Chains A and B, each alone.
Chain A
C-alpha cells in the first residue's frame, strides 16, 4: 500500500477514513539514506488519533515498496506531533539514488495520503 486509499478532499467524519492530510501537516528531511518525517496535528485534539494510528508498523508498510528497513517514532506531545525516522528508504540517498527526488523531499505527502479513522469524540 503506497498511495492514498481515501478521498483526500473528504471532510473529517466520525468512523470514516480520511487522509492524514486533513488532520496534519508534515515535512521531510534526509541524511544519507535515512529519511525523517516530522508530522504535526493541526488541532491538538487530533494528536491522540495520530499516536494511535500513525504507528511504526503502518509507516513501515507504507514505505515497504521503497525498501524501508526500520521505522522509529519519537512522540513530541508538547508540539502535538511526532518524528518518524525511516531507514534505507531513499534508494541510495541524494548522491546515490536514480529517483528524480533523491532527497525524498516529496515523501511527506506520501505519508499524508495515509488513511486514518476518526472516532466520534475526536472530531
Chain B
C-alpha cells in the first residue's frame, strides 16, 4: 500500500500555513502518511546554538508553535506521524513546546519521541575526527568551540516511531532521513536494502525543501511560469513498497510539479550524482529517470543505492567574533557616482579608523553586490549607469565588537560627511557563529530515541508505554 510523505516546511523561516492543505490532502486520501518539518540548515544550526548561549530556554525552531498549531489536532486524530528536526540545538525545549500544544489539543496530550546522540560536543576531544573533503578550516581551540552535531541517519527516528511516538523531535539528522524513517517503519525495509533505502532517501531529498519541488524557487517570468505562487502547494511524495516514487501536491493549491521542477530539486546540494552521501546509504543517481505521468504528477525511477559510508558528517560551531552591517541609499541623477564616492571615502576612513585585521566588504546594491567578490572586482568592471537607485552596504567582521561598531559607525557618518543626498541609513550587529564540517566514525556515535517525559501531563493516555520506556542505545545509522 502506498505511503504518503507530506512536507510541512522546507527551512526555518518557511511559510507557517504550508502544512494545512498538505494535511487536508493526506486525510482525504486516507492512506498511511507522515508529515515532515525540515527546519534545520547549517545557518540555522549555528543560529540556534547562538540563541541557546544567550537563553537556555531557546535554541530550537522559533516558529515551532506557529508551524504545528494549525495541524497538530488533525494529525493526532488521523494517525499522521509528525517528524521534525525543529529541536535544533535544544530538542528538549522543542519537546516541551510540543507537549504544551498537545495538552491543549482535543486529545489532551501526545506521545513525543526525542532523538538523542547528535550532540557530541562533550566527546569531541576523544573521537577520531577527519576533515570533510571540501573543508579548509582548522578546528579552533577548546575555548572557542560551541557545539558539534552529527548528521544522524534514520535509525533513531525509526526507533522513536517504534516506541509509538506520534511526534518525533530531533536535532541534527540528515534532512532526508526524516522522510526515510517513516518508510522504513511502515514497510519494514532492511538496513542493507540499498536500493530501497536510496529511493526513500531521495523521496526525502525531493521533499525536504518543501515548495522547491512544486514550483517554489523556480519561477522565472517569460521562461518558467508558475501559477499561484502565493499559494504554492507543498509536496506530497507517494512511495510504494518497492521504492517507486511519485512527486505530487495537494489538489487546489498553486505551483506545479513537472519534470523541470523535479530535476532542479533532484540535484540540489548534490555533488557527485553517482555518490550522493547520506548517513544510511550512498545514493547513485546516474541512471535516474524523471517522467510526467499526469498533471502535477512526476515519477522518479532508476535510483540505486550502495552501502552506507563509514563516517558521518559533523557540523562544528565555534565563536566567529562579531559581524556588523550598515547601509545607505543614493538615488536619482548621478547616484552611482555618489555611491562609489561614498565607498571610496569609507575605504579610506577604515584604513586609519579600524585595525588592519578588520575584514570588510563594500557592495553597491543595484550595481554589483551578490555576484561580487569581497574585493569588489565587479564593481569596477561592470558598465556604469549614471542614475538609478543604489544602496551602499558595508559588512565588517572582527573578534571584538568595538571595531565592528567603529567601522559601521563610519558608514553612518556618511550622512553628514559623505557625498550629497545619502539617506535611509540602517545598521545592525550580531555575534557570529562559524561552522566547519568534519567526519566522525560511525562507531563513535550512539544514537537512540526515548519518549519525552510528559509526566506533568496526563500520561494515562499513553499506555502501555509510558515516559522513557524502551530507551535502547545502538550504533547510529
Contact = CB atoms under 8 A, between A and B. Distances in A.
B267 A33 contact: no
Interface in B87-119: none
B449 interface: no
Interface string B245-280: 000000000000000100111111111111000000
Contacts of A32: 42, 132, 134-135, 435-437
Nearest to A31: B269
Contacts of A83: 267, 270-273
B267 A95 contact: no
B314 to A, nearest CB: 12
B346 to A, nearest CB: 14
Interface string A76-92: 10110101010110010
Contact of B134 (A21, A87, A94): A87
A48 B466 CA distance: 61
Interface string A26-56: 1101111110101010100000000000000
B395 interface: yes
A29 B276 CA distance: 14
B397 A36 contact: no
Contacts of B361: 98-99
A100 B370 contact: yes
A31 B134 contact: yes
Nearest to A28: B268
Interface string B282-318: 0001111110000000000010000000000000010
B224 interface: yes
Contacts of B375: 65
Given A27-B265, A83-B271, A99 B260 contact: no
Contact of A30 (B266, B269, B273): B269
Interface string B349-381: 000000000011101010001111111011001
Nearest to A107: B371
B42 A100 contact: no
Given A32-B132, A74-B272, A94-B42, A27 B264 contact: yes
Contact of B220 (A25, A94, A99): A25
A29 B270 CA distance: 8
B370 A106 contact: yes
A115 interface: no
A66 interface: yes
A91 B395 CA distance: 13
B377 A29 contact: no
A67 to B, nearest CB: 7
A74 B266 CA distance: 14
A29 B11 CA distance: 14
Interface in B364-423: 365, 369-375, 377-378, 381-382, 393, 395-397
Contacts of B378: 2-3, 65
A85 B396 CA distance: 28
A57 interface: no
Contacts of B395: 98-100
A15 interface: no
A103 B395 CA distance: 16
B273 A76 contact: yes
A88 B134 CA distance: 8
A38 B288 contact: no
A98 B263 contact: no
B457 interface: no
A111 to B, nearest CB: 10
B223 interface: yes
Contact of A27 (B46, B268, B374, B377): B268
Of B286, B317, B365, B432, the most chain A CB neighbours within 10 A belong to B286
Contacts of B370: 99-101, 106-107
A108 to B, nearest CB: 9
B323 interface: yes
23 contacts: A2-B378, A2-B381, A30-B269, A31-B42, A34-B134, A40-B263, A65-B372, A66-B373, A72-B271, A72-B272, A74-B272, A78-B302, A81-B267, A85-B272, A95-B42, A95-B46, A95-B433, A95-B435, A98-B397, A99-B361, A99-B370, A99-B395, A100-B393
Given A33-B134, A95-B43, 6 more contacts: A3-B371, A25-B224, A25-B264, A29-B270, A94-B43, A110-B371
